[in-house]
């Protein structure tokens, strides 16, 4: 059939472009089959292998980056924790130091107060004894002096001891009531 049409066409009339050349069809069929075989056997596997490797490499890189990120954030967390701990520790030490300082201050204050009380006590005691001594010595001396003075003023010697002692006592009693009144 084809042969008929082709031979008719070649004998003068215009060739029918829709009638194929059988040999050309054969060449295209075989040529395409060979190409398809090469593509299936070699070309596609080679490209697919590279694509797969590349995808794997990229995914591996992503996983690695994610791991690094996780590690970094863990380290950051740790540092933050350490920092918080250190701050708490510092606060605690400061509190302790403050408390200790206050304790020491209070101790010192107490000690100082005790010391001053003791000194005051001693001073009081010393003053008291001095005063006592002064009173004793004054009593005898003032008696003698007053007697002497009064004898001179009166012009007669108060030789009578009994009388003299009475006079002195009365004088001293007056003196004491006077000083007590003044102290009040």
Partner 1 sequence: MIALALPAQDSGSFTPPGIDEMHLPAILPWGAHDGFSKQMLLVILSVVIIATFFILAARKQQLVPGKLQFAGEMAYGFVRNSIAKDIIGGKDFIKYVPLLFSLFFFILVNNIYGAIPVIQLPSFSHVGGAYVLAGIVYFTWIIIGIKKNGLKYFKLATVPSGVPWYILPIVVPIEIISNFLVRPVTHSLRLFATMLAGHLIVMLAGSGIEFLVMQENVLLKGTSVLVLVGAIAMYMLEALIMALQAYVFTLLTAIYIEGALHADSH
| Residues at the interface with partner 1 (CB under 8 A) | 6-7, 10, 14-15, 17-25, 27-29, 31-32, 34-36, 38-40, 42-44, 46-51, 53-54, 57
What would the two tokens of residue 60 be? 């591996």
- Asked if 167 and 151 count as a contact pair (C-beta separation under 8 A), the reply is no
Query: Smallest distance, Å, CB 28 to partner 1?
Result: 4
Q: What is the dihedral of CA 157, 161, 166, 170, to 10 degrees?
A: 50
Radius of gyration, alpha carbons of the chain: 67
Indicate the residue among 44 and 110 with the shorter CB distance to partner 1: 44
Indicate the residue among 20 and 101 with the shorter CB distance to partner 1: 20
What would the two tokens of residue 11 be? 């004998």
Q: Give the distance from CA 49 to its chain's centroid.
A: 59
Indicate the residue among 38 and 104 with the shorter CB distance to partner 1: 38
Query: Smallest distance, Å, CB 19 to partner 1?
Result: 7
Query: Smallest distance, Å, CB 2 to partner 1?
Result: 10
- Asked if 134 and 159 count as a contact pair (C-beta separation under 8 A), the reply is no
Query: Smallest distance, Å, CB 79 to partner 1?
Result: 37
Query: Smallest distance, Å, CB 84 to partner 1?
Result: 45
Indicate the residue among 63 and 75 with the shorter CB distance to partner 1: 63
Unique residue bearing structure tokens 């797969």: 52
Indicate the residue among 54 and 98 with the shorter CB distance to partner 1: 54
**Gap between the Cα atoms of 16 and 1, Å rounded:** 13
Based on the number of CB atoms within 10 Å of its own CB, is 93 exposed (0-12), middle (13-18) or buried (19 or more)? exposed
């Amino acid at each position: 059939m084809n042969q008929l049409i082709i031979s008719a066409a070649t004998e003068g009339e215009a060739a029918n472009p829709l009638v194929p050349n059988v040999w050309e069809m054969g060449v295209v069929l075989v040529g395409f089959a060979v190409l398809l075989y090469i593509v299936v056997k070699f070309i596609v596997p080679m490209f697919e292998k590279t694509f797969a490797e590349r995808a794997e490499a990229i995914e591996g890189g992503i996983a690695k980056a994610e791991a690094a990120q996780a590690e970094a954030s863990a380290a950051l967390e740790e540092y933050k924790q350490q920092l918080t701990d250190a701050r708490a520790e510092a606060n605690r030490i400061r509190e302790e130091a403050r408390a200790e300082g206050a304790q020491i201050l209070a101790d010192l204050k107490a000690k100082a107060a005790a010391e001053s009380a003791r000194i005051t006590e001693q001073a009081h005691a010393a003053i008291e004894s001095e005063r006592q001594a002064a009173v004793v010595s004054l009593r005898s001396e003032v008696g003698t002096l007053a007697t002497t003075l009064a004898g001179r003023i009166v012009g007669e010697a108060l030789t009578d001891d009994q009388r003299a002692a009475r006079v002195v006592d009365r004088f001293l009693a007056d003196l004491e009531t006077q000083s007590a009144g003044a102290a009040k």
